[in-house]
Amino acid sequence: MTDIILYDYWRSSASYRVRIALNLKGVAYKAVNTSLLDGGQKAPEYVARNPQGFVPMLSIDGHDLTQSLAIIDYLDAKYDDPPMVSRDPVERTKTLAQALVIAADIHPVNNLRILKYLKDELRQEQESIDNWYRHWIGEGFAALEAMAPETGLFGGVQPNLADVCLIPQMYNARRFATDMSPFPKLARIDAACNEREAFRKAVPEAVKPA
């Protein structure tokens, strides 16, 4: 059987999402560190397979899959337990909307290449960059807090795609000293998810190269 290979960077939140999904579904994989700091994602042989030059990339079934939500969608179609989205059209749409608050609205303006551009090209001070980061997290989290259930996870008893996207963003929020007091429901979901082995095994410190 051909190995399933995840081209990964330990601190990439998009890679973190895919690690969680693989763990939840019990899919064994081999991780290949692709350092964003060293430019491994821009190596010619990597870009030939992934033209955007981003992580993650999942090599599976003879395919090189890119974009974390697209990868998780593939995994969900191939390994249906536990499901990441409901088969009910309305519930599926709600979950996708919640996940996209993070994956489409918070994360793209706060990822490493944006922060580096702010610092290197626009000459912003680190304090301004950190404030930028916290602003967009706070705006997105305010919406998610309103969407979050009063009890349980976004997925109810079992984590779903919204939970898988939330937990890496919560990790980043803590890294940037975001005030989490306005988001008690998100904090509850984060704590509950991180009690599960699939989430604990995916945290950046657990996969950081020696």
Residue carrying structure tokens 């599926």: 92
Check if the beta carbon of residue 72 is closer than 8 Å to that of residue 164: yes
Distance CA 93, CA 11 (A): 29
CATH of the domain at 118: 1.20.1050.10
Regarding whether 145 and 44 lie in a shared domain, the answer is no
Residue carrying structure tokens 């997105």: 140
Check if the beta carbon of residue 173 is closer than 8 Å to that of residue 141: yes
pTM of the model: 0.92
Regarding whether 182 and 102 lie in a shared domain, the answer is yes
- Point out the domain boundary residue: 47, 65, 82: 82
Which range marks the domain in which residue 37 is found? 5-82
Per-residue confidence (pLDDT) for residue 1, from 0 to 100:
47
Regarding whether 179 and 115 lie in a shared domain, the answer is yes
Does 149 reside within a domain?
A: yes
Hey, what are 178's tokens?
């975001």
In degrees rounded to 5, what are phi and psi of residue 87? Answer: -80, -15
Regarding whether 192 and 117 lie in a shared domain, the answer is yes
Per-residue pLDDT for the chain (210 aa), expressed as one digit of tens each? 459 999 999 999 999 999 999 999 999 999 998 887 777 788 888 899 988 888 999 999 999 999 999 999 999 999 999 999 999 999 999 999 999 999 999 998 888 889 989 999 999 999 999 999 999 999 999 999 999 999 999 999 999 999 999 999 999 999 999 999 999 999 999 999 999 999 999 999 999 987
Q: What type of residue is 108? A: P
CATH of the domain at 73: 3.40.30.10
Per-residue confidence (pLDDT) for residue 70, from 0 to 100:
97
Does 110 reside within a domain?
A: yes
Does 208 reside within a domain?
A: no
Helix (H) or strand (E) holding 137: helix 126-147
Regarding whether 169 and 190 lie in a shared domain, the answer is yes
Check if the beta carbon of residue 173 is closer than 8 Å to that of residue 137: yes
Regarding whether 56 and 93 lie in a shared domain, the answer is no
Regarding whether 191 and 106 lie in a shared domain, the answer is yes
Regarding whether 193 and 98 lie in a shared domain, the answer is yes
Does 120 reside within a domain?
A: yes
Number of domains in the chain: 2
Residue environment code for 90-116, b if the CB has 16+ CB neighbours within 10 A, otherwise e: eebebbbebbbbbbeebbebbbeebbe
Does 13 reside within a domain?
A: yes
Regarding whether 95 and 174 lie in a shared domain, the answer is yes
Regarding whether 183 and 114 lie in a shared domain, the answer is yes
Does 210 reside within a domain?
A: no
The single-letter DSSP state of residue 30 is E
- Tally of CA atoms within 13 A in the half-sphere of 153 that contains its CB: 22
- The closest alpha carbon to 56, from 11, 24, 101, 91, belongs to 11
Regarding whether 60 and 139 lie in a shared domain, the answer is no
Residue carrying structure tokens 């898988």: 164
- Point out the domain boundary residue: 55, 82, 109: 82
Does 16 reside within a domain?
A: yes
The single-letter DSSP state of residue 26 is T
- Strand pairing report for 30-33 and 5-8: parallel
Per-residue confidence (pLDDT) for residue 44, from 0 to 100:
86
Does 131 reside within a domain?
A: yes
Regarding whether 101 and 41 lie in a shared domain, the answer is no
Peptide bond into 56 cis (omega under 30): yes
Check if the beta carbon of residue 160 is closer than 8 Å to that of residue 154: yes
